[in-house]
Amino acid sequence: MKVSELQIQNQLSQFDIGRVRSNDSTVQKPNQPVDKNQNFSDILEKKISEDNSVRFSSHASKRLVERNMQVGEDHLQRLENGMSRVKEKGAKSSLFLMDEMAFVVSVKNQTVVTALDREAARSNVFTNIDSVAIV
């Protein structure tokens, strides 16, 4: 046996096991019981769907500013209602037409991916969408 092993063994024998206790105060307990059968993606999807508000990607936010597009509370409410309608139909990515504006949205993420004014929408081809909604 090596000297270092003897020193470690000697230190362990001096260690009083009875004084060791778990520090439960640092463990945070969840507010709700955890279902062990759910995987992370299911839990994340549930949390995302609980937050029913529409979000704008950084790209969409830039486009709103560049094109001087004004989006008010009424527009946000119409976007949320449109998201609910197309989600019920199983859509994943949609084109929303509203007044003089068009929005490409990710229904799953409740996110506006890009925003276009009438002129930009007129000269565009929209791909990778599975539905169109007039809101």
- The pLDDT tens digits for 94-113 are 999 999 999 999 999 999 99
Please state the rounded mean pLDDT for residues 28-50: 68
Does residue 18 sit within a domain? no
Q: Can you read off the two tokens belonging to residue 5? A: 């092993």
45 within domain boundaries: no
Asked whether residue 36 is domain-assigned, the answer is no
pLDDT tens readout for residues 16-34? 444 444 445 555 555 666 6
- Residue 38 falls within a domain, yes or no? no
- The Cα 128–Cα 117 span in angstroms is 19
Residue range(s) defining the domain that contains residue 102: 52-134
> Number of folded domains in the chain?
1
* pTM greater than the 0.75 cutoff: no
CA atoms 90, 98, 76, 116: torsion sign: positive
For residue 116, list its beta bridge partners: 102
Whether 17 is in a domain gets the answer no
Look up the CATH number of the domain holding residue 58: 3.30.2310
The pLDDT of residue 20: 46
Whether 21 is covered by a domain: the verdict is: no
On average, the pLDDT of the chain sits at: 81
